[in-house]
Chains A and B, each alone.
Chain A
Amino acid sequence: MNANTETRAPARTGWVSAAGKVNASLLSLVVAALAWEVIGRLADVPFFPPLSDVLGVLGDLITDGDIFGNLLTSLGNLALGFALSLVAGLVVGTAMGRYRRVNAALGIYVYALLTAPSLVFAPIFFSILGAGQASIVAVVFMYSAFIMIINTASAVENVSDSLIEMGRSYGAGEWQLVTRVILPAAAPMIFAGIRLGMGRAVTGMINGEMFIAVVGLGRMVTQAGKRFDGAEVLAILLVIIAVALAAIALVQFVDRKVTGWVPATSKESG
């Protein structure tokens, strides 16, 4: 028995296309930065200063050290709110995807809360939880949990029946089936939802900090806005974007660790 001739080469993105991708994003950044600078200078309006001014203010914020305490506060709110929604997303989502009855019972609420503008709950949290961290964490949760629940539910529902049947035929119990077959099989799609959830969590964090408890980066934006300091508003916006990108990069990093088995070709086209 010789099976050697049957191997197939694993599909991987080569370094050529990887390098091409880096160049493409670099180019797009340079173009955007130039456009910002030129339009900022030409327009000459207080709330759209050119990039160089904004970067100058950002440099000051960093050298003053003003931004770090606020950044840390914001990251704490983000981490806590996101962690809670992740747990809810996985647990509720799995239950909804696997059990018809749970889906029937909860589906309507999850969809309602997904589509409702999350900020309308802010006054409710404010009155129940007060103007502290708890309210912000709750807002972050409202922003990010439901998309993850729904994504996880449909990922779990879409796991192929034959894999589940295979698991059952080898005597897997419900818990083994969920942890050893269903969740790993659903992982790539679950991660797509986690990525969306992370993006929404950052939005929730800023909105919470701007409209409920005025702390963290949200407070800095609000205060700069009141001072009509357009450059500082945009400088902090850059920081917020950096936080969002870093958070999503973290999700992608974990995603690659967990779902590295998905052939590169079916994930991205060079």
Chain B
Amino acid sequence: MIEISGLGKTFIGQDGAAVRALDDVNLTVQENEFLTVLGPSGCGKTTMLKMIAGLLPWDQGEIAIGGAPVRGPGPDRSMVFQNFALLPWATVLDNVAFGLRMRGVGKKEREERSRELISLVGLSGFESKRPGELSGGMQQRVGLARALAVEPSVLLMDEPFGAVDEQTRRLLQEELLAIWEKNRLTVVFITHSMEEAVLLGDRVVLMSARPGQISEIVPVPLERPRSSDVGGVERSSDYVNITAYLWERLREMHEERSVVAGSGPSV
């Protein structure tokens, strides 16, 4: 369980202007919940995720995982990055084994474990390829395998499928669902897509910008497993209604923002 309370953060930009990236964010992520986070650009999604990952300090509030306060990165969490963040000089096998290696797992064991995960994400046969030889979709499979290899209890994903084409994205969504349905762990998944947020999530956290706050949490009562019949899920009235509702809310936020921007002093 991840407990976030009163989380606040102000960035001082290079021009000296203060940006309130997060303001009084309160959120509880249940054990083994798949939580998706949706919000306009710049509302603090990445900032919040990096804080959960222990990569970024905050100004106010507290984050606790399983009751223990977060003080830095830890073996209970792993992260999947939007731009994959693979080591370009390392093979698929070495990339997947990276986290295990940092934790001092011996060569034999980490290679064995990495091979299992490579096969789980459908990349068997590509162990000795380098990232530059793979498509974006395959690179993110490597990123996912690397994250799962360390057996985290919390998986943090920052727009993991944002940089791949639509068709690959759909395949990856189905694969992620299938993997998660077999082996449930706590997932915090950031996305820009209403459809993705609803298809994958148990709940959708809707954030608003300036200051970054949680505006609403929308439960997704769609049945699981969803991976076996994604088409059916997408035709269900719950799916259709929730995505429509989310878009309505996001559109309001964009409009509010353009009104604010329009009425402000012109610089």
Interface centre among A185, A261, A262 (most CB of B within 10 A): A261
Interface centre among A2, A160, A165 (most CB of B within 10 A): A165
Please state if B85 and A3 are interface contacts (CB–CB under 8 Å): no
- Residues from chain B with a CB closer than 8 A to the CB of A174 are none
Q: Is B135 an interface residue (CB 8 A)?
A: yes
Contact with A along B41-84 (1 / 0, CB 8 A): 00000000010011100000000000000000111011101010
Q: Is A223 an interface residue (CB 8 A)?
A: no
Q: Which of A5-13, A28-36, A142-150 touches B? A: A5-13
Q: Is A269 an interface residue (CB 8 A)?
A: no
Please state if B133 and A171 are interface contacts (CB–CB under 8 Å): no
Please state if A162 and B83 are interface contacts (CB–CB under 8 Å): yes
Q: Is A76 an interface residue (CB 8 A)?
A: no
Please state if A6 and B73 are interface contacts (CB–CB under 8 Å): no
Please state if B79 and A169 are interface contacts (CB–CB under 8 Å): yes
Report the bound CA distance from A239 to B129 in whole Å: 43
* Distance (whole angstroms) from the CB of A255 to the closest CB of chain B: 13
Please state if B122 and A168 are interface contacts (CB–CB under 8 Å): no
- Residues from chain A with a CB closer than 8 A to the CB of B141 are 3
- Residues from chain A with a CB closer than 8 A to the CB of B233 are none
Choice from B85, B102, B123 contacting A171 with Cβ under 8 Å: B102
Query: What is B's interface to A at a CB cutoff of 8 Å?
Result: 50, 53-55, 73-75, 77-79, 81, 83, 85, 87-90, 98-99, 101-103, 121-123, 125-126, 129-130, 132-135, 137-138, 141, 146, 150, 168, 175
Given contacts A171-B103, A185-B88, 10 further A-B pairs with CB under 8 A are A1-B122, A3-B122, A3-B123, A3-B141, A10-B132, A160-B85, A170-B99, A171-B75, A187-B89, A263-B132
Given A162-B85, A166-B79, A171-B99, A6-B138 contact (CB < 8 Å):
yes
Report the bound CA distance from A165 to B150 in whole Å: 17
Please state if B135 and A184 are interface contacts (CB–CB under 8 Å): no
Please state if B102 and A162 are interface contacts (CB–CB under 8 Å): no
* Distance (whole angstroms) from the CB of A179 to the closest CB of chain B: 11
Please state if B102 and A176 are interface contacts (CB–CB under 8 Å): yes
Please state if A170 and B150 are interface contacts (CB–CB under 8 Å): yes
- Residues from chain A with a CB closer than 8 A to the CB of B168 are 6
Choice from A8, A176, A181 contacting B133 with Cβ under 8 Å: A8
Chain A to chain B: the 6 pairs with minimum beta-carbon distance, closest first: A1-B122, A166-B85, A6-B135, A261-B89, A170-B99, A169-B79
- Residues from chain A with a CB closer than 8 A to the CB of B87 are 163, 181, 184-185
Q: Is A192 an interface residue (CB 8 A)?
A: no
Q: Is A107 an interface residue (CB 8 A)?
A: no
Please state if B73 and A171 are interface contacts (CB–CB under 8 Å): yes
Contact with B along A152-182 (1 / 0, CB 8 A): 0000000010110111111110001000110
- Residues from chain B with a CB closer than 8 A to the CB of A103 are none
Report the bound CA distance from A6 to B88 in whole Å: 18
Please state if B88 and A170 are interface contacts (CB–CB under 8 Å): no
Nearest to B168 among chain A residues (CB) is: A6
- Residues from chain B with a CB closer than 8 A to the CB of A184 are 87, 89
Report the bound CA distance from A224 to B98 in whole Å: 59
Interface centre among A8, A9, A184 (most CB of B within 10 A): A8
Please state if B55 and A261 are interface contacts (CB–CB under 8 Å): no
13 A–B pairs (Cβ distance < 8 Å), ordered by A: A3-B126, A4-B125, A7-B135, A160-B85, A168-B73, A169-B55, A169-B78, A170-B102, A170-B103, A171-B74, A180-B98, A185-B87, A261-B130
Please state if B121 and A1 are interface contacts (CB–CB under 8 Å): yes
Contact with B along A232-265 (1 / 0, CB 8 A): 0000000000000000000000000001011100
Interface centre among B50, B85, B130 (most CB of A within 10 A): B85
- Residues from chain B with a CB closer than 8 A to the CB of A168 are 55, 73
Please state if A169 and B132 are interface contacts (CB–CB under 8 Å): no
Please state if B133 and A10 are interface contacts (CB–CB under 8 Å): yes
Choice from B85, B88, B102, B146 contacting A261 with Cβ under 8 Å: B88
Please state if A166 and B81 are interface contacts (CB–CB under 8 Å): yes
Please state if A169 and B53 are interface contacts (CB–CB under 8 Å): yes
Report the bound CA distance from A213 to B135 in whole Å: 58
* Distance (whole angstroms) from the CB of B121 to the closest CB of chain A: 7
Report the bound CA distance from A6 to B123 in whole Å: 10
Report the bound CA distance from A236 to B236 in whole Å: 85
Given A7-B135, A168-B55, A261-B130, A2-B122 contact (CB < 8 Å):
yes
- Residues from chain B with a CB closer than 8 A to the CB of A8 are 133-135
Please state if B137 and A3 are interface contacts (CB–CB under 8 Å): yes
Report the bound CA distance from A167 to B130 in whole Å: 18
Please state if A170 and B53 are interface contacts (CB–CB under 8 Å): no
Report the bound CA distance from A162 to B82 in whole Å: 10
Report the bound CA distance from A167 to B103 in whole Å: 11
